[in-house]
Amino acid sequence: MNVYAVLMAGGVGTRFWPRSRRKTPKQVLNIVDDSTMIQATYARLSGLAPDENILIVTNPEQKEIIAEQLPRLGDQNFILEPFGRNTAPCIGLAALHIAREDPDAVMVVLPADHVVAKVKEYQTVLKLAIEYAAEHEALVTLGITPNEPATGYGYIQAGEVATRKGKYRVHKVKTFAEKPNLETALRFLDSGDFYWNSGMFIWRASTILKEIEEKLPDVFEKLELVKAAVGTPKYEAVLEKSYRALKSISIDIGVMQRASHVYVIPADIGWNDVGSWETVYEISDKDKHRNAGQFQQLINIDSKKCYVYSPDKVVALVGVEDLVVVDTGDALLICRRSHAQQVKDAVEVLVKKGQERYL
C-alpha cells in the first residue's frame, strides 16, 4: 500500500497572538511541548508513511521556517499555495500531485496544529482507516470520542457499523452537525453516537478527485489547469491565477456532507485542536498552585490558575488568578482565561490600525 501524508499547514492562528504571527503561526510554535506542533505531527507519522511521501501544504511565507523545523524533508516535500482557499482546494491540489505519481495511493490528510496524546492508538486507528479507504474506495474520517459537551467543534453522527476489527469499528456516517449550542451538545454527548469532527481524512487520491469533479466542478476545472502546467515554467502563474478564481470552501461542506461512501472511525486518541490559550492552560502540566506555562522564573505571591509564557524575564504574579500572560520581544498579552477566544479581537485591532510589525 502506497501511503501519503498531507499536512495542512497554512493557518495563521491569531488566537495565539502575540506568539503566533503571520510568519510564525501556531503550527511552528512549541506551544504545548518542546517540539513544535508540526514537528509532533510529523513524528507521529513514523512507520505510517515514508519521508518521501510526506507532503506539507503551506504558503511561501511559512515554508522556510517549516523546512528548518523538519530537516529530513526537502523542497520535494512541499506543495505551496499562493494563499489559502480553505481545505477543499488545498486537498485537491495535494491529491492532484499524488495522483500524478500513483492515483491509487491512499492519502492521509492531517491538520498540522493539533495535539494527539495517545500516539499508539492514533497509529492503529489510522492504519485501519487506510485499509478501509483503500479497499472500499471510501471517504474515511476520524471521529473523536467526546468527553465533554464541547460547543467549539463540529460533530459527526455515526450510523450503522460497516465493519469491525478488534475493538475498532468503521461506521457509515449518518450526518455532519455544525458547532452546537450547549443544550444540543449535551444531547449529542448523551446519545453516544456523536463524535467530534477532527478534520482528519483518509482516502485514495483518485477517490477524492472523483468526488471533487462531481461536487465541486469549478474547483476541479482549475485543478485540471494546474495539472496541465505541472513541471512547466508556467506552473506558478497558472496556480496563482487558478487560486485567485476560486472561492474558499471547506472539504466538509464541499464534499463530505454531500457524498455517499462516507465513513467515520471512532477514535479515543487524546486529541485536542488547541484552539486558544485557555486550551493550552488546560492541557499543560501545573504546579501545586495550578499555575502553568513556559518561563525562566516565576515568583508566586498568592496567585493561582495562571498560564505564563515569558522565556527571558523573571515574572512576579501577586494576588492574581485565572490569567494568561504572554510576553514576547515586542508585545505583551494579559488575558482573563475565560476570555481567551477574544485574543483574536486584539489582533483585529492591530489589523485595522495597519500595524503590520505586530501581525
292 in contact with a copy of itself (CB under 8 A)? no
In the complex with a copy of itself, the residue whose CB is nearer, 194 or 307, is 307
Instruction: Please name the residues in contact with 129: beta carbons below 8 A apart, sequence gap of 6 or more.
Output: 108, 140, 142, 170, 202, 265
Instruction: With contacts defined by CB under 8 A, name the span among 33-41, 186-194, 211-219, 313-321 that binds a copy of itself.
Output: 313-321
Output the smallest distance, CB 315 to a copy of itself, in A. 5
Q: Which is nearer to a copy of itself, 118 or 339 (CB)?
A: 339
Give the residue from 306, 311, 308 showing the smallest Cα distance to 296: 311
Residue 290 sits in the site that holds a copy of itself (CB under 8 A): no
Quick one: residue 57, left, alpha or beta (phi over 0 = left, psi -120 to 50 = alpha)?
A: beta
Q: Which is nearer to a copy of itself, 190 or 312 (CB)?
A: 312
Whether the Cβ atoms of residue 92 and residue 219 lie closer than 8 Å to each other: yes
Residue 344 phi/psi, 5° resolution?
Answer: -65, -25
Peptide bond into 25 cis (omega under 30): no
Closer to a copy of itself at the Cβ: 81 or 278?
A: 278
In the complex, what is the shortest distance from the CB of residue 322 to a copy of itself, in angstroms, rounded to a whole number? 9
Per-residue interface string for the shown chain with a copy of itself, residues 84-103, x marking contact by CB under 8 A: --------------------
User: What string of DSSP letters covers 180-208?
Assistant: P-HHHHHHHHHHS-EEEEEEEEEEEHHHH
Is residue 117 within 8 Å of residue 269, measured between CB atoms?
yes
User: Does 345 participate in binding a copy of itself (rule CB under 8 A)?
Assistant: yes
Considering beta carbons, is residue 197 or 303 the nearer one to a copy of itself?
303
15 vs 204, which CB is nearer to a copy of itself? Answer: 15
Q: Which stretch binds a copy of itself (CB under 8 A): 64-72, 133-141, 200-208, 332-340?
A: 332-340
327/86 Cα distance (integer angstroms): 31
According to CB under 8 A, which one of 18, 49, 82, 135 is a site residue for a copy of itself?
18
Q: Does 331 bind a copy of itself (CB under 8 A)?
A: yes
CB-based burial of residue 13 (10 Å sphere; 0-12 exposed, 13-18 middle, 19+ buried)? Answer: buried
Binding residues for a copy of itself (CB under 8 A)? 17-18, 299, 301-302, 310, 312-320, 323, 325, 327, 330-336, 338-340, 342-343, 345-346, 349-350, 355, 358
